[in-house]
Amino acid sequence: MPELPEVETIVRCLRPLVTGRRILDAELPSLRANGIGSPVLRRILREPEWSEPGDFIEAIRGVSIARVQRHGKHLVFHLSPGGRGQSRALVVHLGMTGRLTCESSAEPRTPHTHLILSLNEPGRWLHYADIRRFGRLQLVDASDGVLSALGPDPLEISFASFARLLRARKAMLKSLLLDQRFLRGLGNIYADESLFRARLHPAALAARLNREQARRLYHGMRETLRLAIAAGGSSISDYVDGFGNAGYFQHEHQVYRRTGQPCVRCGSLIRKIVIASRSTHFCPRCQRAGRPVVRPNCSSPRKQA
């Protein structure tokens, strides 16, 4: 699942390969397979102003990629000229199984390849594939504010600001960390790993944290993300970087998908519960801080592995 560290890894792979390159052409293989107006493609290409996918191709043909940035879990390709005197960008969200890779062929590598961009560099194509099609491609104007609804980046926010945000929210920590309007970039893996490092119970209420606990969460979250980026992200099922290589942070997970295995810190067995409709992994002994006195009905215990 591409979360902040995976998207950051992909951006770092692709940046030197595509920056300054011109998009010579774009192909939509699912268009060939499903026909014009296919609902499949319309869902992937989130762009209500385009009446036909062909308009999307027309809009990015011939433009250059000025720079590539990560914004939360989104990849942002800034385009120039943007058209209509605007500053435009191609925004890519990889959903759960999305892959964005640099390839040496224009031929789709998988049956789930949805977009292929040919660049003005011999033997260099950008492929977008997504098995489960939760990912989205979107052309936006800089003024659109599509990305401005997201919260601050966890690696950029100061502790003072983070503590202020926490105090203002009553929600459970796990729910909050998954909320992209609160912080942008964390998903299920790194929310669980961050809470473990911070030794905080996932059902603890944000506003009830004391300063020391807030500080542990702040640093636990940032350390987790930095280590994950250094390891090239976590490859659980589908994730690969811009070169098609798997990451290896999954080998360093301390709680995520380790249900029933001993805690690396105390040896207690890792438990799995459900919070915010998401499987949540934690150590019942290390992560007592802030745990609810009465177990909330939304965190009913599930089967142990």
Interacting residues with DNA (CB under 7 A): 1, 3, 39-40, 43, 72-73, 93, 95-96, 111-112, 131-134, 168-172, 175-176, 178-180, 187-189, 257, 272, 275-279, 296, 298
Q: Which of 34, 114, 23, 115 is nearest to 66 (CA)?
A: 23
Query: Minimum Å distance from CB 121 to DNA?
Result: 31
Which residue, 53 or 65, is less far from DNA as judged by CB? 53
Minimum distance, C-beta of residue 22 to DNA, in the bound complex (Å): 29
- In the bound complex, what is the minimum distance in angstroms from residue 44's beta carbon to DNA? 9
* Residues linked to residue 232 through DSSP beta bridges, in sequence order: none
Closest among 161, 159, 222 to 186, alpha carbons compared: 222
Judged by beta carbon, residue 26 or residue 206, the one nearer DNA is: 206
Determine which one of 70, 73, 184, 199 is catalytic. Answer: 73
List the catalytic residue out of 3, 6, 8, 193: 3
Residue 302: C-alpha distances to residues 242, 256, 292, 297 (Å): 36, 15, 17, 12
Q: Which is nearer to DNA, 1 or 23 (CB)?
A: 1
Take residue 253 and report the two structure tokens written for it.
């997970």
Shortest Cβ 56–DNA spacing (Å): 18
Minimum CB distance to DNA smaller for 63 or for 137: 137
Nearer to DNA, 66 or 146 (CB): 146
Taking the complex as a whole, the smallest distance from the CB of residue 92 to DNA amounts, in Å, to 12
Q: Is 90 exposed, middle or buried (0-12, 13-18, 19+ CB in 10 A)?
A: buried
With CA atoms as reference, report the closest residue to 4 among 272, 244, 227, 281.
227
Does residue 301 carry a catalytic annotation?
A: no
- Catalytic site includes residue 278: yes
Burial class (CB in 10 A: 0-12, 13-18, 19+), 117: buried
For residue 88, indicate whether it is catalytic: no
Greatest distance between any 2 Cα atoms in the chain: 63
Catalytic option among 61, 278, 285, 291:
278
Does the active-site annotation cover 132? no
> What DSSP element (H or E) covers 218?
helix 211-230
Residues serving a catalytic function are: 2-3, 73, 278
